[in-house]
Structure 1
Amino acid sequence: MSSPAPPSSGRSLASLIPAYSVKLNRAYLLAPAVAAGLLAAVLLFSLVDFSAFSASSRALPPPSRGSSRAPANASALSRAPVRTALDTLGTRPPEPFTALRDAYARWDAAVGCPAFAEKYRSWSPDPAALQDPEAAPCGELRLPHVTLAVRGVTWVPDILDGVYQCRCGMTCLWSRNEEALADKPDVVLYEIWPPPDTRKQGEPLRAFMDIEPTRKRSGHEDIFIGYHADDDVQVTYAGKFFRITHNYHVATHKRDDVLVYWSSSRCFEHRNKIARELFRHLPAHSFGRCENNVGGGDKALEFYPDCARDGHSSSEWWDHLHCAMSHYKFVLAIENTIADSYATEKLYYALEAGSVPIYFGAPNARDLAPPGSFIDGGAFASAEELAAYVREVADDPAAYAEFHAWRRCGVVGGYGRNRLDSLDTLPCRLCERASRMGGRHAPAPPPNATVS
């Protein structure tokens, strides 16, 4: 098979994941017009010669959503798509492998970075998926220095405390210790508890963060921080500060007997069901409490003594998950729920560990992740179909190496901006928003005003 095929019939694996938000469409009203259009298209297409196009062209990414711009080079429409290793999957005999460098060498010889870059040259992520942290003009800033106090949060690590030199010459002092601010803060950040119902003139702006899939405003904040680009300030999970204490040792060889790694200790049934169905067809190890099949949660160091390097002696699986998963070709990554732009550490852990995510989650993950870096589990009609594709990739070193080409060739797509919108950069971006509003000098909202 040359590429993941869309679900043909029945329920796909992705349908097992609950969605918090479902948008109804009225496509059924267009059915007669669509049928007539398809008939006309068939008649027209019968007159066109498609011999220059390979059957694997469906593996190429679609054009950016919401964009009607013509390609910079009009001849691109008539140019045959670039054929890479994944486009020719199945044309080479199976060749089990373990050494990554050997796989990279095979891919370099068969494809190479210039061809990979050309394949994705005309593709770009949907700009609406991620905020542009440099979009606001510098002239809108009202305060050259902003102080921010952190209160009652769980996602923000202490290491973020400090003074930041931000863009446009603005500086930001971010601290959990309000004594260090030496003054009344310009903005206060809340997450566990909602902010106060009211804000009087001269009091700090109220920022409220909710990056859970429910993503609900408190109704009393002046600035709302969520994972979606529609929020006042976007915070994605793509940065490092969510998980700075983990062991980042990465293995140079991949197991060839067990293909898939999974670890989860929040045992949602929909996730367990996907894992069970897939593991019936693929050899896999589950290290968490859910569907554990390795004999307990303390087997990481027993299986992989190299993960004890650099003083990481804890036996708990979560302290070594990056290191442990790096020994596997694939990592099963299933979100708690499907929601637009809700791509969490489950996706980014696998990418950072040098493995290929088998991903069930955000419908627009292609806009958030590097091009060609993961397998979309929801694109398959069944566990059997997905497993067959995974096995085929696992036994083709050139095809497998192509999932890692983005990091070797510098073709990062929307992932670059995703990192810029992550928790790592929140201090400057939140302080900049507060500066544009005037900080504690901003006008007080009317009594009993509710943020909509």
Structure 2
Amino acid sequence: MPSNAPLILFWTRYFNKPVDVAAIPRCSVLVEWTNDRRRLAESDAVVFHLPNFREAGDAHKYPGQLWVAWSMESVVNYPVMADAAFMRHFDVVMTYETGSDVWRPYLPQASWWEAARHAPIPPKTERAPAVHFQSSSFNKSGRDTFIAELSRHIAVDCYGRYRPNREIIGPDLGRQTKLETVGRYHFCLALENSIALDYVTEKMFDPLAAGTVPVYLGAPNAAAFVPDNSFIDAASFSTPAELATYLRQLIETPPAYEAYLAWRSNPLPEKLAAQIASLDTPPLCRLARLVTQRLTQHGAGQPPGKPSLPFGGKAFLRTRWRRWLAARRGRSM
């Protein structure tokens, strides 16, 4: 690696594991990636995974260094992302929010949409109209109450580790088995674990790929991330009972139901297609490009000066204490 290539350091883990820098795709701009904290002083940019923000407290910030806040998790579940006093220490934001410096949404790439549009629609063979997959107990959206009430009015088959009432029969091949299962139902409950602007996850996109209709509860602007008339907005109904009535009406009126699948025969809306095209470059490569641009604008190399401790002495000591405890227990942090 040339000595003048910018160095980008991942300071925190990605949840419970160090970032696998060897798996980062080759980018058109030349940078070096590392998760070796001993190289902090020479790093041009330092990336912090915000769900692991408690690991950030002992990081010193060197003059001219870019700090990157990275997360794909909902701001509702990790309110530190909305804490102005905390976020002011970062120069670059890389999240699912459309206003981020590096936008990293769950929105699939163009090849995914092409495959979804041309895949056959599976026959709807299950007796229950709706299916739901859930493995986490996170419930900031009220989805537990929603499912319980909806299930009083229409049958819902629930799979996953969290409160299932059905199990996969035969070998479970992960996402492939999930999509095959979802495709046998008229509707899939796509319920986010929290409701936040722009937070539209695979819960919306998996049913579209499977050839069924998502019943979505989540981001109020979810329609911006999918083709027109491709999902049912649960929040537009006064009660789950009213929603259940509508779902039954769709099943009893095949043309009305099929209208929700018609998007597969049409080009994607121009604005959505443009958003998707902007994601062709992998997100970390877009980060590398932005870091390179900013270093060029402000001059390569770090100016002289002493490093600061942005989160203060108490955070430094707490973080070092947690690292010591983790090391004593044989775990990395």
Q: Same fold (TM over 0.5)?
A: yes
Match of 2:322 in 1: none
Instruction: Work out whether residues 58 and 309 of structure 2, in 8 Å CA contact, stay in contact via their aligned partners in 1.
Output: no
Q: Deviations over 1:58-77 (max 9, x none)?
A: xxxxxxxxxxxxxxxxxxxx
Q: Name the CA distance, whole Å, in 1 between partners of 2:285 and 2:266.
A: 30
Matched to 2:137, the amino acid is C
Q: 1:428 aligns with which of 285, 288, 305?
A: 285
The one of the two structures with greater contact order (alpha-carbon pairs below 8 A, sep at least 6) is: 1
Structure 1 position 206 matched with structure 2 position 206: no
TM-aligned CA deviation for residue 398 of structure 1: 2.6
Gaps of 5+ in 1: 1-143, 166-170, 241-248, 303-312
Q: Which runs of 5+ in 2 are unaligned?
A: 110-118, 312-333
Aligned pairs (5 A) from 1:223-238:
223-238=92-107
2:256 is the counterpart of 1:399: yes
2:46 paired residue number: 188
Structure 2 SS opposite 1:348: helix
Q: CA separation in 1, counterparts of 2:175 and 2:154?
A: 23
Distance 1:263 1:250, change over 3 A: farther
Q: Pick the aligned partner of 1:300 from 168, 185, 188.
A: 168
Q: Does 1:327 align with 2:184?
A: yes
**Distance change in 2, residues 1:353/1:194 (3 Å):** farther
- Residue 235 of structure 2 is matched in structure 1 by 378
Contact 1:145 1:172 in 2 (8 A): yes
Question: Where does 1:61-100 land on structure 2 (aligned, <5 Å)?
Answer: none
Residue number in structure 2 paired with 1:271 = 143
Whose Rg is larger?
Answer: 1
Structure 1 residue 414 displacement after superposition: 4.4
CA contact (8 A) 1:147 1:172 kept: no
Identity of aligned residues (%): 25
State how 1:142-157 maps to structure 2 within 5 Å.
146-151=6-11, 152-154=13-15
Structure 1 residues 423 and 149: alpha-carbon distance in aligned structure 2, compared to 1, 3 A threshold? farther
Amino acid corresponding to residue 129 of structure 2 in structure 1: L
Alignment-mate amino acid for residue 273 of structure 1: T
Taking only aligned residues, the RMSD between alpha carbons, in angstroms, comes to 3.6
Q: 2:95·2:102 contact (CA, 8 Å) conserved in 1?
A: yes
Whole-angstrom distance in 2 between the partners of 1:444 and 1:353? 56
Q: What is the SS of the residue equivalent to 2:46? A: strand
Q: Judge conservation of contact 1:250–1:353 (CA < 8 Å) in 2.
A: no
Alignment check: 8 A CA contact 2:63 2:307 kept: no
Q: Distance in 1 between matches of 2:6 and 2:258?
A: 46
Give 1:325 shift.
Answer: 1.1
Task: Give me the TM-score of the superposition, normalised by structure 1.
Answer: 0.53
1:370/1:406 contact within 8 Å kept: yes
Deviations 1:132-173 (A, max 9, x none): xxxxxxxxxxxx9655444522497768513222xxxxx244
Provide Cα deviations, 1:180-201, integer angstroms capped at 9, x if missing partner.
x9xx654332213337643224
Cα gap change, 1:443/1:368 in structure 2, threshold over 3 Å: closer, same or farther?
Answer: farther
CA change 1:414–1:444 in 2 (3 A) is farther
Q: Is the 8 Å Cα contact of residues 368 and 414 (structure 1) preserved in structure 2?
A: no
Query: Residue 318 and residue 409 in structure 1: after superposition, are their counterparts in 2 closer, same or farther (change >3 A)?
Result: closer
Is the Cα–Cα contact under 8 Å of residues 371 and 413 in structure 1 kept in the other structure?
no
In 2, Cα distance between equivalents of 1:444 and 1:254: 67
Looking at structure 1, the residues matched to 32 and 205 of structure 2 have their Cα atoms a distance apart, in angstroms, of: 26
Q: Distance in 2 between matches of 1:413 and 1:354?
A: 22
Q: Per the alignment, in what secondary structure is the counterpart of residue 26 of structure 2?
A: strand
Matched, 1:163 2:26: yes
State the partner residue of 2:212. Answer: 355
